[in-house]
Amino acid sequence: MNLETMPYPPRTRTRDYRIPLLLLSALVVVLDRLSKLWVVHHIKSGSAITVIPGVFRLTHVLNSGAAFSMFADSMSPGTVRKALIAFSVLAVVIVLTMLWRAGRSLNASTLALALILGGAIGNLYDRARLFYVVDFLEVKIVHYHWPDFNVADSCIVIGACLLMIEIFRAQPQRQ
């Protein structure tokens, strides 16, 4: 047997999931934009459509602050906006870097990072272009009224919950 005809062991190549994970982030941005555009064109600002009476409504709220409208009534809204944009850009860079490094494998952590990245970009777009974020999902359960939120916020929260589960999940014992 000569070297040219000698069989070689198959190459073991692990799949790189970074591009599919970035596509998931892009899908989150697209769904966020489309849902916000629908709300802007179908629900008058400050109005609502009841979906489940006493529980769930589609609203049209303009949030110039941070999460839960923090800093929305600030004495210097321009400074708040610039700070929120800077924070968002920093968060996007950090999460993108983490996703790029960890994205060769597909697991709960990389899915979480992809969701967080898409959500952060979705809200960053609104803040940079419109000076506010469009929120439209309103939930009330018994006496608790959750502040209005959007698809981007939902993806950020789901991603954060997945990361928390990963952090507190029992790790397999190494031999």
- For residue 38, what are the CA distances in angstroms to 32, 50, 115, 135, 137? 10, 16, 21, 12, 13
Rounded to the nearest angstrom, the gap between the alpha carbon of residue 32 and the centroid of all alpha carbons in its chain is 9
* Both tokens assigned to 92: 């996007």
Asked if residue 59 lies in contact with residue 48, where contact means CB atoms within 8 angstroms, the answer is yes
Which residues carry out catalysis? 135, 153
Q: Angle at CA 128, nearest 5°, toward 127 and 131?
A: 50
